[in-house]
A and B are shown apart, each in its own frame.
Chain A
Amino acid sequence: MSDPVLRLENVRKSFGDNVVLRDVSLDVAAGECVVLIGASGSGKSTLLRCVNLLERVDDGVVRLDGEDITDPRVDADRVRARIGIVFQAYNLFPHLSVLDNVTLAPILVHKVAAEQARSEALAMLDRVGLAAKAAARPDSLSGGQQQRVAIARALVNRPRLMLLDEVTSALDPELVGEVLDLLRELKDDGLTMILNTHEMGFARQVADVVCFLDGGVILEQGRPEQVLGAPAHERTQRFLSRLTH
């Protein structure tokens, strides 16, 4: 088997006395979709932020394609250029048009020629069904549309790994579907991704691996039908039963 795209080895992260990640190890293979579940504050978001170096780990190693990206000698900007992230609150740049949001990183970071960046961005917006909104400002779009622009903005850089942090939590229920449909297509295209979600039905459909985070460790990990269908751990059972009520 080939090397994993991402490997976490005994990662630890605390904020003051609050130890959020105690000892987390995880492998993500190419084309794999890993879904993180767990209660609020269980460290799901912190884990994603550690992977793209928005947070500095206290201990342990994060490897991207075998390279130790937690080494202080590593240029964080260069690493982040290879990882895409989508946030819960979209985080689009409100002063830029939809198109300019998508072309910003290709032009500034990846040095793509403006004309080519434009055509690639339009193709990507077409891919997420929003080519008609290229000239619009983000705040004139619905939440679901904004989140699809955010996904296009991350995808256009052809990331090695995509991180999706509660991407449907801020959306109205009737808008959740359009975003999940898009993610399902990306998964079928072979994109490697890690996502946090509370959508257990969606997790069951797209996940290759489901990880249940609790107390700063991955308490249970396995196929979705196993972790979600027949959880071995008592805490996992309790978490899942609370969700269905």
Chain B
Amino acid sequence: MAPASPPVDGWVPSTLQRERDAFRAKATRRAVITAGLASLAVFALIALAVTSSPGWPAFRETFFNWDKALSSFPAVLRGLWMNIRVMLVSAVCIAIIGLTLAVLRTLRGAVFFPLRALATAYVDLFRGLPLLLLLLVLGLGMPALRLSGLPTSALFWGGVAITLSYSAYVAEVFRAGIESVHPSQWAAARSLGLTYRQTLRRVVLPQAIRSVVPALMNDVVSLQKDSGLVSMVGVTDAILAAQIETSSDYNFTPYVVAGVLFLILTIPMARFTDWLARRQGQRGALL
């Protein structure tokens, strides 16, 4: 393997070095081919085992019916659009609330005790309560209260429930990031005359957030899927749409359609997370 561009000082690799490069290239090639063949063999075996099973024709008809997939696709896609909207709006609220909670929890000094205690109580409460419970209580209970000035839509309260629960988790991720920034960074910034707020904003948070991006992306992907829980309070998301499509003839293909659509959303997100992690010099899942 010759270097892409000639070296600045006209160096020509020795015979020994060319031999080493050739050996390394060959070893890499061999590893890639071995891994490729092994994966191919495993997938072929699984495919063979599944398709040769006695129930396969009936199974294929029930889960992989092309006509049913096409006819259910628009409804499932409309449902998915609901998932995406819930996810995007909640994600923004979660990020803001989570970061605020994390900062409140890291405040030092007796003056801030009430704020700290409040933030801690919030996290304890909403992280401890099952999301489903929150959804049912808020999504079905709040509209029934008919409080003046507050929306009564189940969708709104479903989103609120997701936001309350997730922001408690995300707050702890942010807090871990803030506390991982070495105290010497605080000392350096404060001794330059930066205020507490400036230090947090300009020095600590940029480093803290960078180190927790992979963990946050985890929560984003998880949120994408949990956004479907709003269907518990009667909002039609992709899964509920698929369920409705299925109920007419008990053909389960719409569920497969919904599953594929979710993967199309989440897999790019996972690769993006890996890429971010690698760019920080950490190891992504692919390499």
- State the A residues within 8 Å of B (CB): 10, 12, 14, 17, 19, 22, 58-61, 70-73
Asked if residues B17 and A72 are in contact (CB atoms below 8 Å), the reply is no
Q: Which of B125-179 contact A (CB under 8 A)?
A: none
Asked if residues A59 and B11 are in contact (CB atoms below 8 Å), the reply is yes
B167 to chain A, nearest CB (A): 31
Q: Given A19-B9, A22-B9, A72-B27, A60–B20 Cβ distance below 8 Å?
A: no
Q: Chain B: how many interface residues by the 8 Å CB criterion?
A: 12
Asked if residues A72 and B9 are in contact (CB atoms below 8 Å), the reply is no
Asked if residues A59 and B17 are in contact (CB atoms below 8 Å), the reply is yes
Asked if residues A58 and B20 are in contact (CB atoms below 8 Å), the reply is no
Q: Which of B1-27 contact A (CB under 8 A)?
A: 7-9, 11, 13-14, 16-17, 20, 23-24, 27
Asked if residues B8 and A19 are in contact (CB atoms below 8 Å), the reply is yes
CA distance A60 to B14 in the complex (A): 8
Which residue of chain B has its CB nearest to the CB of A68?
B16
Asked if residues A72 and B14 are in contact (CB atoms below 8 Å), the reply is no
CA distance A17 to B4 in the complex (A): 12
CA distance A12 to B17 in the complex (A): 11
A-side interface mostly: strand
Asked if residues A61 and B27 are in contact (CB atoms below 8 Å), the reply is no
Tell which of A14, A61, A73 touches B7, judged by Cβ atoms closer than 8 Å: A14
Which residue of chain A has its CB nearest to the CB of B23?
A72
A53 to chain B, nearest CB (A): 13
Complex contacts, A72 vs chain B, CB 8 Å: 20, 23-24, 27
Which residue of chain A has its CB nearest to the CB of B3?
A58
Tell which of B8, B16, B27 touches A17, judged by Cβ atoms closer than 8 Å: B8
Asked if residues B20 and A71 are in contact (CB atoms below 8 Å), the reply is yes
B121 to chain A, nearest CB (A): 32
Complex contacts, A73 vs chain B, CB 8 Å: 23
CA distance A19 to B11 in the complex (A): 10
Complex contacts, B17 vs chain A, CB 8 Å: 58-60
A55 to chain B, nearest CB (A): 15
Which residue of chain A has its CB nearest to the CB of B16?
A61
Which residue of chain A has its CB nearest to the CB of B11?
A12
CA distance A73 to B7 in the complex (A): 26
Complex contacts, B23 vs chain A, CB 8 Å: 72-73
Show 17 residue pairs from A and B whose CB-CB distance is below 8 angstroms, ordered by the A residue.
Answer: A12-B11, A17-B8, A19-B7, A19-B8, A19-B9, A58-B11, A58-B13, A58-B17, A59-B11, A59-B14, A59-B17, A60-B14, A61-B16, A71-B20, A72-B23, A72-B27, A73-B23
